[in-house]
Chain A
């Protein structure tokens, strides 16, 4: 099955700095890579995702890059703000593989991001 490794497990930055979180995956059939942000006591919320036919995607201060050859993808947050503090999870999925009608997400272990004012 798929295995997703996420690093670092904790990340502490000053407000305004950039933050980078990296994930590697094992299954070359994986084709969908979402990133979720989870604040304490809240639900995981999708912040950005990328599909295997795209190398990079950006949404305001957040960007994700994907290297299919190396099987790794990264989350980049620029101009960090205290409200970016949360746990971030990467995930990989071979969506609709084998004719299935659902996506089975495999999550990384999470990164606790702390942004200091």
Chain B
């Protein structure tokens, strides 16, 4: 299995709703990432988890709350979002550290994304 999957594909929510995005990979990767992408712009890094521990938080507002319950799953909990948070949310994964160096691969594989609309 060489895929990163994300659910749901589309999500419409109001500013007072609470929702979650889910990402899953079964490639044995131990680094997982959340990106936000606006139309015609590059992906912007939000969070990085390495070995299920939060390693990077790129000063993301607290209305976005990441969670990594195990090595295959990554969630992004959403609460009290703003219309400007509407975007494509991408998950990615990669082999971490020594394993990647030994295999000479540190490629980040992206999921298909969740298209989020905040009304």
Task: Find chain B residues with CB under 8 A from A42 CB.
Answer: 112
Known contacts A34-B107, A101-B30, A110 near B94 by CB under 8 Å: no
Within 8 A of B (CB), among A79-96: 87, 89, 91, 93, 95-96
Task: Find chain A residues with CB under 8 A from B43 CB.
Answer: 44, 89, 105, 107
Q: CB of B66 within 8 A of chain A?
A: no
Q: Which residue of A lies closest to B58 (CB)?
A: A104
Task: Name A46's contact: one of B42, B45, B107 (CB within 8 Å).
Answer: B107
Contact check, A32 vs B106: say whether CB atoms are below 8 A apart: yes
Size band of the A side of the interface?
Answer: 20 to 34
Q: CB of B31 within 8 A of chain A?
A: yes
B contact residues vs A (CB 8 Å cutoff): 30-31, 33, 40-43, 45, 48, 50-51, 55-56, 90, 94, 96-97, 100-101, 106-113
Q: Can you give 17 contacting A-B residue pairs, CB < 8 Å? A: A32-B106, A34-B108, A43-B90, A43-B111, A43-B113, A46-B108, A46-B109, A89-B42, A96-B97, A101-B30, A101-B31, A101-B55, A102-B33, A103-B108, A104-B56, A105-B108, A110-B40
